[in-house]
Amino acid sequence: MTKLKTFLDDNKIDQRRVLIASKQLEKLRREDRQIKLAQAKARKSDDAKAPEGLGKPRTGRPVTEVGLNSALEGDKVSGPMKSRILRAVNRVLEQKKKDPVTIDTLFDVPPQNPPKPKAEEGEGEGGEDAAAES
């Protein structure tokens, strides 16, 4: 079982609630269309400068049943789909008066910048001594 499936089972969250919550969250609204229109007009203008003060519009793409099933089965899921699932799950948790969770709780996310292994002490010192002597 995946982390997402065990989390949904532990918190007694039905998959259909996640789908409905995502549909409500990601639905395009009037302000989203206005933001997209302003961005399109700015691109077509002579300045081609992005207008300031505009928020980020919603995607308009909710979590699909196929996407949720593939995430529950442990198949590969894109980053934006993981974010949409996270927002929908947090919305359901908010309705249940529970604290929101992070993406690490639902998915196995690799670290963005893993630490590089340190070189052995003998290798690093030789380069510094040679530079200091010359």
**62-90 mean pLDDT:** 92
Residue 53 has pLDDT above 60, yes or no: yes
Domain-embedded: residue 125 = no
What's the structural domain count of the chain?
1
Domain-embedded: residue 115 = no
Task: Please check whether residue 32 is in contact with residue 60, taking contact to mean a CB–CB distance below 8 angstroms.
Answer: yes
Q: How confident is the model at residue 23 (pLDDT cuts 50, 70, 90)?
A: very high
pLDDT in tens, 36-45: 888 888 888 8
Domain-embedded: residue 77 = yes
Domain-embedded: residue 17 = yes
Q: What is the DSSP string of the chain?
A: --HHHHHHHHTT--HHHHHHHHHHHH---HHHHHHHHHHHHHHHSSS--PPTT--PPP-S-PPPHHHHHHHHHT----HHHHHHHHHHHHHHHHHTT-----HHHHS-PPPSSPPPPPPPHHHHHHHHHHHHH-
Domain-embedded: residue 43 = yes
Residue 52 has pLDDT above 80, yes or no: no
Measure CA 49 to chain center: 27
Q: Look at residues 80, 79, 28 and name the one whose alpha carbon lies nearest to residue 57.
A: 28
**23-48 mean pLDDT:** 86
Domain-embedded: residue 133 = no
Residue 118 has pLDDT above 90, yes or no: no
Q: Look at residues 69, 77, 76, 68 and name the one whose alpha carbon lies nearest to residue 21.
A: 68
Query: In terms of pLDDT, which residue wins out, 10 or 117?
Result: 10
Compute, in degrees rounded to 10, the torsion defined by CA atoms 87, 111, 113, 77: -60
Residue range of the domain that includes 76: 3-109
**Can you say whether the dihedral through the CA atoms of 27, 72, 110, 100 is positive or negative?**
positive
Domain-embedded: residue 68 = yes
pTM: 0.72
pLDDT of 47: 72
pLDDT of 110: 74
Domain-embedded: residue 128 = no
Q: How confident is the model at residue 50 (pLDDT cuts 50, 70, 90)?
A: low
**68-97 mean pLDDT:** 93
